[in-house]
Structure formats: C-alpha cells, structure tokens
Amino acid sequence: MRGRTAGALVVAAVALVIIDVLVAGSRGDRSPATGGAAGDAIPSIALASSVTSPTRSSVIVAMGNLDEPTNTFWELFLRPAGGTSWSLRTPPGVADNGGLVVAAPTTGPVTAGFLTSALLTFSPLAQSPDSGLTWSPGSLPSALVATPDAMAAGSGVAPDLWAVTGRATQTVLVSSGGLSSWRPIVTTHVLSGSVPGCSVGAINAVATGMTGQLLLGVSCTHSGRIGVLEGSPSGSESGVQHWRNFGPSLRTSGSAPSTSVLRLERTAAGIAGLADVNEGAASSLVAFWLEGATGRWTGSSPVVVPTHWKVMATAVGGGDGAGETVLLGSGSERRIEVTMGPGGPWVTLAQPPAGTASVASIGNETDAFVVSGSHFTVWAWSPGAAGWWRSAAITVPIQYGSSG
C-alpha cells in the first residue's frame, strides 16, 4: 500500500510537470527582452559613458533605484561647448529602463537610441537638431546592442547613421537620411573567419572614418591586435564588401592576447579608441589613436584592471579632443584614470567622490557624476586643484513605477 501511495504521488507530480510544460509551450511565452543580457555574444561593456566633441559634451548614466530593473532609468545630460552646466536631455516617450546610447557628431543632429526592455524587441530612436531641446522619433527594426558606441553618425544635416543591432549575431545597419528605413551592411556571421588578422567574436562599436567610411570596433580572439575593421567595395555587382583589420598591433612577449574594442569615436584629429586586452586571467586597458593626417596608430601603455575590479564608465574627448578617461570600480571603491591623448601617460586622479557612477572629460577638466536615486551631482577636478569640488546638483523628475 505504501508503495502504491508513493507511486500515485509520483505519477501525480509527473502529470503536473507535464501539464505545466504543455501550458508553457502552448501559450507561446515571450521572454522579456533585456539590453545586453547575459548570454549575448557581446561582452558586458559599461554603458555609462561620455563623449566630448568641439560642439558639446554628453554623458549617459543610470539613475533611480538601481536594484530594480523597472525603476532604473538611463538619463542623458548634455553640456554645450563653452558652457559650464549640464542639462537633462533624455528624449521623452519611451521607457529607457534597458539603457540608452547616443551618437553625437561634431556637427549635425544628436541621435539617441533606446535599448530594449521587457516586451519591447526593437529599439526606438530619437533625433534632435537642437542639442536635445526637441526630438523627432524613429526606430530600428531590431534591438541595439548594449555598448556605448553602438551608433555613429556622419556629419551634416542628414548624415548616414549606423547602428549595431542583434543579440547572438550582430548586424550593422545603415540609414541614409532617415530614422526608419534601414538596410543591413554586415553581420558577425559574415565577418567570422573572413577577416585576416582577427577572429571576430562580436561587433561592439561603429564610428565614422576619416573619409566618412564606416569603421567597426570588434573583439578579436587571440590575435594580438586590436580589431578596427574597414570595409572596401568588392567591385562585384553584389556590392559585398571585403573587410580588413587595420587596427594597431600590440607589443606582446608571449601568446597573442584577445582584444575587445570598448570605445571607438571620431575626433577632430582622427579616431580615438579604448580596448580591453585579455591574456589569461589578466585584463588591461589600452587607449589607441589614429592620427588623421598621418594615418598612423599610437597606443598607450596598459592600465591593469585589478582582479575583482571592472570598468564602470568611459569617456572620450578630453584634452585636445582625443583624451580618454576610465572609471574603475570594485564594491564602493572607485579609481579614475585619465590620458590626455596620443603619447600621454595614464594619470590616476585624486580619489573620486563616493558613489561616482560616470565620468566626462572636457579639456583639462574631469567631471565625476554621483548618482543617488533621483539626485545627480557633478563634481569637478582640474590639474592643480586641491581636490574635487561640487559644481552642480540636479534633481531628475524620475517617474518611479511608470514602467510597470
């Protein structure tokens, strides 16, 4: 009898499992989309980021209740060149809980892209001709990848716009003069195994080259070379491009490390980038620059990322426009490393304010952004200063609970 009872219960349990599986299968559950979720081909790259161009600076940072995805809101702040204050310029109309990326070329409109979240599977876009005062809507057919340079725009009134989309396989799309009509350029599937000098793992960034061409920042497995790809027409009727890696080679003593481009930006003088270099368990960051006039690469010395530390935010555009800044963090500890441009050393700044979540570099000034819920505080530092000083505080009108 005991055996029969146990058997009946086991049968009942199996039946319940079967019912549940059938129900789950029949209702066609859709997994909520998340920006840059685990399992994506692209590595986890900090979205908190900043770009300074000759016309403006932008910074993107997560605010709200960061422990709750639906109450985490990504905010865009802009600061005009020559200005001293940051203004909230997050485009309205879309829940941006998944993340936000921006393409802010030297001239022409600013374009913001929303990463997907919850049940939204394509990325809305917004474009502003007046530095974020007004926005026009658009959309991509699929989801932007969660990297700070997932979009790039040429200069001009109606520039080409490039975007990296997709999850397991990335696709680079281009739109010529609009925000809703896109066509594919290249995919990771096409690049995989076809680029000499780089076993392409993921497309992390797009940028406009010196002649207006598209550049791709990619991850290369055990290549010993940073992956900056340039396409050239094949001459065939199909229009298929050949891609070559013309990124800088690393000086290595042993095996070829893997590299991953974290940032790739057009600057006034050329291209500035930041790469993660991995050799075994060791990770370091290398800044690299392409000088437009000479076409030559320059690389920085590496900044070692200590074990259990991670890159929390990155900024491009300090110094003369090619400077780069990195915010490293581990728990509540923070460290800011700055290089002013090609050939410049990495300098560790004074201990940044507690809670620093993002950074920006404007000329010789470095701004550290501290976020606490709806409060956004700007701390500034410049060479010769005794330390960080509080330059502004903004209360952001976050609508908690507005995203379900």
**Is the CB of 124 or the CB of 321 nearer to other proteins?**
124
d(CA 278, CA 221): 9
Distance CA 345, CA 31 (A): 46
The answer to whether 133 contacts other proteins (rule: CB under 8 A) is: no
Copy the structure tokens of residue 220.
């290369």
Residue 337 burial (CB count, 10 A) = 21
To the nearest 10°, the Cα dihedral for 219, 222, 224, 229? -30
95 binds other proteins (CB under 8 A): yes
Reading the block at residue 84, the tokens are 């001293």
Q: Is 180 near other proteins (CB under 8 A)?
A: yes
User: Rounded to whole angstroms, how far apart are CA atoms 148 and 115?
Assistant: 11
Q: Biggest alpha carbon distance in the chain?
A: 89
Which residue's CB is nearer to other proteins, number 256 or number 396? 396
Based on the shown chain and the rule CB under 8 A, indicate whether residue 203 belongs to the binding site for other proteins. Answer: no
* Selection from 296, 293, 298 nearest residue 269 by Cα: 293
Nearer to other proteins, 141 or 355 (CB): 141
Judged by CB under 8 A, does residue 20 bind other proteins? yes
Instruction: Please work out the total of residues on this chain that contact other proteins, with binding judged by CB under 8 A.
Output: 58
Is 5 or 253 the residue whose CB approaches other proteins more closely? 5
Spatial separation of the C-alpha atoms in residues 273 and 10, rounded to whole Å: 60
For every residue of 359-370, DSSP letters joined together read EEEEBTEEEEEE
Q: Name the β-bridge partners of 284.
A: 277, 304
39, 82, 92, 254: residue in contact with other proteins (rule CB under 8 A):
92
In 3D space, the residue among 394, 319, 353, 360 whose CA is nearest the CA of residue 89 turns out to be 394
Q: Is 26 in the site for other proteins (CB under 8 A)?
A: yes
Contact 277, 322 (CB under 8 A): no
Q: Contact between 139 and other proteins (CB under 8 A)?
A: yes
Nearest CA to 190 out of 234, 152, 153, 224 is that of 234
* Residue 347 interacting with other proteins (CB under 8 A): no
The nearest distance, CB 398 to other proteins, in angstroms, is 5
Q: Residue 120, interface with other proteins (CB under 8 A)?
A: yes
Does 17 contact other proteins by CB under 8 A? yes
Please identify, among the stretches 115-123, 197-205, 329-337, 347-355, the one whose residues bind other proteins according to the rule CB under 8 A.
115-123
Three-state secondary structure call for residue 258: strand
Note whether 137 binds other proteins by CB under 8 A: yes
Smallest gap, in angstroms, from Cβ of residue 21 to other proteins?
A: 9
Nearer to other proteins, 85 or 107 (CB): 85
Stretch that binds other proteins, among 6-14, 49-57, 321-329, 352-360 (CB under 8 A): 6-14
Of 41, 256, 269, 396, the residue at the interface with other proteins (CB under 8 A) is 396
Name the strand (E) or helix (H) holding 56: strand 56-64
Is 73 among the residues that bind other proteins (CB under 8 A)? yes
Min dist. Cβ of residue 70 to other proteins (A): 9
Interface positions, 141-160, toward other proteins (CB under 8 A): 141
Q: Which residues fall within 8 angstroms of residue 291, CB to CB, at 6 or more apart? A: 269, 270, 297, 298, 342
Q: Does 288 bind other proteins (CB under 8 A)?
A: no
DSSP state of 385: -
Residue with tokens 């290549």: 223
Q: How far is the CB of 186 from other proteins (least distance, A)?
A: 22
Per-residue contact flags (x/-) with other proteins for residues 292 to 331, judged by CB under 8 A: ----------------------------------------
Residue 141 CB, nearest approach to other proteins (Å):
7
Give CA–CA dist 123/183, Å, rounded. Answer: 15
- CA-wise closest residue to 101 among 117, 109, 86, 90: 90
Interface stretch with other proteins, choices 92-100, 156-164, 273-281, 332-340 (CB under 8 A) = 92-100
Structure tokens at 254: 């042993």
Task: State both tokens at 76.
Answer: 């865009």
Closer of 22 and 350 to other proteins (Cβ): 22
Sites of contact with other proteins (CB under 8 A): 1-2, 5-6, 9-10, 12-13, 16-17, 19-20, 22-23, 26-27, 29-30, 63, 73-75, 88, 90-97, 100, 114, 116-122, 124, 126, 135, 137-141, 179-181, 396-399, 402-404
